[in-house]
Structure 1
Amino acid sequence: MENGRRYHAYKEGTYYLPNDEDESFRLGLQHHTYTLTYDGELYLCPAGRDQPVSRVLDCGTGTGLWAIDFGLELADENPEATVIGVDLSPTQPPLLLLIKVLLAHSVPPNVSFYVDDLEENWIYTTPFDFVHARMLTGALKSWPRLFEQSYENLVPGGWLEVSDITLPVRCDDDTFREDSDLAKWSGLMLEASHILDSPLDSAYSYQKQLQDAGFINVVERRFKWPHNHWPKARKYKEIGDGVSGLSLALFTRGLGWTAEDVEIFLAGVRKDMKDVRMHTYYCVITVYGQKPYDTDPLSQTETGSSPPPEPQPDE
């Protein structure tokens, strides 16, 4: 327990978001928000659309909602397909908790979960067709290492997709006051994340890092997650309801604040987030890329198909 919140015990202190019931509920809302962002889809890359998918890795699976939903989709198409979810915390939810977050699923038999550290050497003996990583900002010290290990553990033609929220807070007009608590919070969060060597602006480098790791057909897409109900589009209004992103650990561990001082400060931040006169949002960045076909996979498994045409950005 820390500041009244529960955090992971395995590799304690590595990640600054809690793993208690409140966080599980937030992750449920986050999963719903992504579904809205992707217009009902679970992911953006061509995996499973250009060739069959039989083995999938979900990095930083959290409550496992993405892995469960993907596993249910796979079960209809390929009963032998498997999804593996890996996280520092064993927070995969029972049915009761899933009902609480309005996502009442049980874990399908083709989905399994493991507690592990993604920054350690991966020891998988069979390569994956698709590696998925979402909202791991702040969880890793070396993103290039994750991309390199993903590349090494993919079959030729396999896909990696990674997506993260970013700071600083953005605004496309002059409604964001520089003296607001929200602006101060944005700067302090970013400062603290760099102090803890887990920067919250890392996603801006993903596209180049995937290319440096050897991926081809790399595509980057950017989305807006508004803080309140200022957007006219109904989808974006609902997205704003599911985003908070506040973290006690960044301020207490990174900046040395007391929990009491943080809560006092956050009262003003929450007020600003609800102020529809400020058209602020988070920039969410999704990047995906493909392992070339002219490479050998981890287990020398052949895909048995020719390369698909190069995908084009759809926005």
Structure 2
Amino acid sequence: MPPPNFNEHIQVDTSDEDSLYDAESVVDSNLSFASSVRDYYYENGRRYHAYRYGQYPIPNDEEEQDRLAITHHLFKLLTGGDLYRSPLSQQGPPKRILDIGTGTGTWALEMAEEFQDAEIVGTDLSPIQPNFSPPNCTFIIDDAESDWAFTKDEAFDFIHARCMGGGIADWSRLLRQAYNHLKPGGWVEFQEYEARVRSEDGTHVKAPLLLDLSARLEEASSKFGKRMNIAPSLSGWLEEAGFTNVTADIYKCPVGSWPKSPRLKEIGRVGKVSLIEAIEPYSLALFTRVLGWTYEKAQAYVDNCRQEVMNTSCHAYVLFFYVYAQRPLDDSRV
């Protein structure tokens, strides 16, 4: 797997490849993903989970599932194809793995293929996982913020969660539950990205709407009670929860094909699609439910932000965090 590129300087490609596309054509190039048809709640033209409605402000419709497929691809591109950064082999192959907020279940399914002797469990508020899965992979509709129903004998070797920012009110409680449901020596890993853009050359200031979007998401998600931009805080929270060997691998994800490096250029192409696709689902419910915007105002804002992503003179990137930690081996508490 490639090492984290947090300190790497990204050289700019002076060609203008991205100018050949507009936001609509980039969105239309996304991946196709199937979805189950169940009872859901519809709002502002998007579909949301009905189970414990309102607890999670991001849709679960087919459009969102397409976005999750892109996001999964992007997380793997950054690590060179790896699903995780935790050193799982230290204590031998894991036997039980939990995926919190599994979404479409893609990560869990791929882990089931990689660890065929392990039992993989995925939990989520939405029943959008495949009807058929390998015998070592099961999905449960559950709320990660409630008491976990697993018994002492069902402790896990590895607990994974991705993109939970904006969906958790009490991170301290969540991490305590993760700690208590890990075997001593087991690992937990959170994969998150910052809800903001940066640049090395200061050109991110050419995207004032994206900077404004970051501020508004922070305001709205905080008022909602579930802050979105939590990635930089995870390491400290894990240490406070009693975990050891806390490590944060941080990657720069370019937005657009402006980097000179072929690898980063490819990541940037996917990163641009991912950002464009994320703006609406992250914004609509929070802006209309919390900030009191009309749907029309929120949608116009989303469209303008999407167009701003297409500014090829803006050499923006987003920081992706892979934060992992271990329950101490000498901790025999249950």
TM-score under structure 2 normalisation?
Answer: 0.81
Letter paired with 2:146:
E
SS class of match (2:43): coil
Q: Does 2:319 correspond to 1:283?
A: yes
Q: Does 2:102 correspond to 1:61?
A: yes
Q: Does 2:271 correspond to 1:235?
A: no
Q: What are structure 1's unaligned runs of at least 5 residues?
A: 95-105, 299-315
Structure 1 residues 285 and 253: alpha-carbon distance in aligned structure 2, compared to 1, 3 A threshold: same
* Cα pair 2:166 2:229 within 8 Å, conserved: no
Distance 2:74 2:61 in 1: 20
Structure 1 residues 93 and 21: alpha-carbon distance in aligned structure 2, compared to 1, 3 A threshold: farther
Q: Does 2:206 correspond to 1:169?
A: no
* Cα pair 1:36 1:239 within 8 Å, conserved: no
Letter paired with 1:186:
S
* Cα pair 1:87 1:117 within 8 Å, conserved: yes
Distance apart, 1:171 and its partner CA? 2.1
Q: Does 2:243 correspond to 1:202?
A: no
Distance 1:48 1:250 in 2: 41
CA root-mean-square deviation: 1.6
Residue in structure 1 matched with residue 308 of structure 2 by the alignment:
272
Letter paired with 1:286:
Y
The alignment covers a number of residue pairs equal to 283
Higher mean alpha-carbon deviation, 166-175 vs 284-293, is at 166-175
Distance apart, 1:158 and its partner CA? 0.3
Distance apart, 1:123 and its partner CA? 2.2
Distance apart, 1:113 and its partner CA? 0.2
Distance apart, 1:49 and its partner CA? 4.9
Distance 1:242 1:66 in 2: 20
Distance 2:70 2:294 in 1: 28
Percent identity, please.
40
Q: Does 2:144 correspond to 1:144?
A: no
1:247-266 maps to which residues of 2 (within 5 A)? Answer: 247=282, 248-266=284-302
Distance 1:180 1:211 in 2: 35
Residue in structure 2 matched with residue 24 of structure 1 by the alignment:
65
Distance apart, 1:145 and its partner CA? 1.2
Higher mean alpha-carbon deviation, 237-246 vs 188-197, is at 237-246
Distance 1:36 1:49 in 2: 24
TM-score under structure 1 normalisation?
Answer: 0.86
Structure ranking higher in helix proportion: 2
The one of 104, 124, 149 equivalent to 1:123 is 149
SS class of match (1:67): helix
Distance apart, 1:163 and its partner CA? 1.3
Relative CO higher for 1 or 2, CA cutoff 8 Å, sep ≥ 6?
Answer: 2
SS class of match (2:188): strand
Distance apart, 1:167 and its partner CA? 2.4
Q: What are structure 2's unaligned runs of at least 5 residues?
A: 1-41
* Cα pair 1:163 1:287 within 8 Å, conserved: yes
